[in-house]
Structure 1
């Protein structure tokens, strides 16, 4: 009889654990949609005129940003290769770091110019929405290097 009681207790504990896991999965909060997944013109409820102006601003901005990120990626790759070379060359490391810094500074200026342009075409409510979206994103943002080195 003792074995039967122990088996029932084990079965009850297993069932409780499975129900707890199922409940946790079902009751967990839905993940928030990342800002990058949002379609900003819809999220901000742009008027047709605003949408046309937004699209005219967005296309060249995205092309420039993509090109800039590609340059940063190439220099970061070269930087890491220099750092982990059998005999690291400090001058080459410094040159790659300086190139990355120049590209990042240019990119930051481009983003600022874009946000100022976007600000001008938005009304107060839309500006407040975009501001909150950006502040929320920046508060949660971590670099890939930070994520790589977190325990």
Structure 2
């Protein structure tokens, strides 16, 4: 039995559409990128680095004061950022106040970077070569995907 040309064309289009939907469903997980700004999964560094009991004790001694200082510094930066934004969006922006807040933030960020460097050097000193390499790769992977909140806010 012969089918008219339009019936064969309709069958071909239907088949192509079905194959396209199936291909899209199969390939979708591979093509979908993770949403911007999603945090990397938390890693418990002492476990990830397989620290010995002696290394863990030294690590804990380094980590507590570092995390306390870092938290306090972030609080100070947050307060200055809020003040900066308020000055920028004031009815009459005061350029001197804006510049002062920006300078305070830069000073706090520089101090924070020095804390982080000192901490990483101290951690490096207590790790053996394989552990240092694992920490290096973890940090490089995290830094490669970082974006500031402002960058995420303005991306579309």
TM-score of the two chains, using structure 1 as the length reference: 0.82
CA shift for structure 1 position 30: 9.6
Supply the RMSD in Å over aligned alpha carbons: 2.7
Per residue, is there more helix in 1 or in 2? 1
Pairing 1:1-150 to 2, within 5 Å after superposition: 4-5=7-8, 7-27=10-30, 37-150=42-155
Cα deviation per residue 1:58-80 (whole Å; 9 max; x = unaligned)?
A: 12211221121121111111111
TM-score of the two chains, using structure 2 as the length reference: 0.80
CA shift for structure 1 position 135: 2.4
Gaps of 5+ in 1: none
Gaps of 5+ in 2: none
CA shift for structure 1 position 10: 4.2
**Moved runs in structure 1, 4+ residues, more than 6 A?**
none
Q: How many residues align?
A: 150
Distance of 2:30 and 2:153 partners within structure 1: 30
CA shift for structure 1 position 3: 6.2
Q: Which has the larger radius of gyration?
A: 2
